[in-house]
Chains A and B, each alone.
Chain A
Amino acid sequence: MTFSCGVSERMVEELYLNINPLQTAGKTHAETRKAIFSWIDGYAVCDACKGSLRTMDKPPIRAFLADVSAFLGMEDAMLTNGAREAKFAVIHSLTEPGDWIVADGNAHYSTLVAAERNRVDVVRTATAGAPTYEVTPEHFAEALDTAEDARGTPPALAIVTHVDGSYGNVVDAAGIAKVCHDRGVPVLLNTAYSTGRMPVSGKELGVDFIACSAHKSWATGGGNAGILALSGAYRDRVLRYSVDNPVKPLETLGCSTRGSAVVALIAAFPYVRERVSHWDREVAHAQMIVKMLEDAGGFFILGTRPKRHDLIAMETPAYDEIAKTHKKRGYFLAKDLKACGIVGIKPGRTKQFKFSSFGLTDDQARYLAETFIDIKDRYDTR
């Protein structure tokens, strides 16, 4: 079916196992899609507006913010349009143009862009390099000390990628936060790939801010949504209000995600709260897939071991060898996977690619690994 605008319906999630790491944990639950269907009209959430999105009781945004703060082990929270907007708000609140911040060597580009828009330099830590690309507290200590010696001032902020989007490495956030705090540097944890998938407590990790991506990891659709959770110590600096419009938080220009996405986030929250308690099952699936692939030969996992996250990056010389002689070159893999009901890897990639096993059942996880191996064996036996 094609709509009059030329856009067609999207049946990807109904027809295929979608293993695109960007999308696996943003897939919505039925209750969430019902909520989106009901609240899709522009500004629908503002039916009972009291002047600010964060104080809304119908839908229950005020109560949600209190609940989600507790869920994340923080003292307050605000809605944003995504994790990058949350990072931007904190950098904007804590820095002046010309200041510098530190970020890990696996930081997402949006961290760097958020700093650039704030006219703030970013010093990036080293990583362990191939094949683990690990970032440790020692990397942060080295970057902080070296850069402070060179610049003469400490950084205004450290942004730590809890789980990076390239290798799915889970960093020692508590260890890094201690290194930063020992040097008087506040810590923002970018959890675009962690909160909503796995248990995260800001209090236990000792971080000052948590940036969340609802459309990436909180089973939220219907638009963009994010959360910035913060400790009470920074509430006044970040969650400050306009002088001329005193009910409007400045950093979100009054109201942020003022559409169906916020209702979707509220509808998804009970489901998300429940699913993080099954994180061990997600990790077990990832570890099983890694083991099956490595045992089969021709697959090498990138990132730290043991695998502790559903995002799996692989080097696949077996596929790359096939691509050299296949008439479809590197595109054979995506085509063969699709024929087996699997989508989500970048077409044309055979040397190295990443995928996510989040949300798969036991049978689906096994089917995914078996399909990867079957495709390799199909050509090996020719």
Chain B
Amino acid sequence: MLDLDASPYGFFVWTSYGLTALVFAGLVWSSLAHARHWRKRAEQSDDTPK
């Protein structure tokens, strides 16, 4: 059964998981945004990648 009650260490456990989720979200967003931005720029040029 799921045990989501991390007391008395809830602050440490949930801060760890929260920061990890934030960092992963940031990595996904930044890598996708970077790729989309440059893909658009490359497609606007003559040297369109396949």
A binds B: no
B interface with A by C-beta (< 8 Å): none
